[in-house]
Amino acid sequence: MRMTDQEGLEREHAVFSAYLGSYSSDARVVARYSTAHAPMLASDDRFDRWLVAFARRGRVACSLADAYARRVRPYGLLRRKLTLVLALLETGSATHAHFDRARPASRIATLSALAGAGVWWVLRTALALIVVAPLHLAAIVAPGGRDG
């Protein structure tokens, strides 16, 4: 499926939103996601496009792709698309409350949660490097793949 297909964008928006913790099926929000793509989110980079296609497969793939992108493509297409989705989620009437609010807790509970998030991030990043890095390497060495 080509990335410019409306169906593909809708699926992408749904997967990315679910990955970030919330989802609005409001047609206006989905349309806004599509509108903001051109030209801000265009990319000629083959690996960038592949990473987005990989992330579109589902929440787990998206989390691995994002963890990998944060390390090697922090300003790439996937991170830009995810940032757009986050911006839509934090402003939408159905979703803003989750993103706008702090999560109050005792200091011990907060520090425990931060430590847990840190451990989970390390594991996820390690797994992302194991899974995605070989594919990235393949993209680079493949004919015509130097832009990866």
Partner 1 sequence: MADYLVIGSGASGVHFARTALDLGHSVELVDVGFQRPTPPLPDADVSALKDQLEDPEAYFLGAEGEGVVYPAPDAKPYGFPPSKQYVFRRPRQLQFGERLFHPLLSFARGGLAEAWTGGSYELLDEEFADFPFAGSAMRAHYDAVARRIGITGVPDDIRHFSPCTADYQAPIPLDAHSALLHGRYDARRGALNAQGFFLGRSRVAVLSRDLGDRRACTSLGRCFWGCPSGAFYTPGVTLQSLLHDDRFTYRPGLLVRRLLLDSRGAALGVVAVPIDGGGEVALRGDRTILAAGAVATSQVYLQTMQYQGRTDLQLTGLMDNRQVMVPFVTLPRLGADVDLASYQYHMLAMGIDRGHWRAAVHGQISALKAAAVHPIVSTLPFDLATSMRVFRRIRGALGVANIWLADHRRDANAIRLEPNDDGSTAVVLDYADDARDLPAARDAAARTRRALRALGCFAPAAMTRILPKGSSVHYAGTLPMTNAEQEHTTRADGSSRAYDRLHIVDGAAFPWLPAKNLTFTLMANASRVATLLGA
Instruction: Please report, as ranges, the residues that interact with partner 1 according to CB under 8 A.
Output: 19-21, 28-29, 32, 35-36, 40, 63, 66-67, 69-70, 74-75, 79-80, 82-84, 86-88, 90-93, 96-97, 99-107, 109-111, 113-114, 117, 120-121, 124-125
| Shortest reach from residue 56's CB to partner 1, in Å | 15
Element (H, E) at 2: none
| Shortest reach from residue 139's CB to partner 1, in Å | 20
Report the distance separating Cα 15 and Cα 31, nearest Å: 15
112 or 142, CB closer to partner 1? 112
| Shortest reach from residue 52's CB to partner 1, in Å | 14
| Shortest reach from residue 99's CB to partner 1, in Å | 6
Identify the residue whose tokens are 């994002």. 66
DSSP string, 29-47: HHHHHHHTTTTTT----HH
DSSP string, 68-119: HHHHH-TTSHHHHHHHHHHHHHHHSTTTHHHHHS-----HHHHHHHHHHHHH
53 or 145, CB closer to partner 1? 53
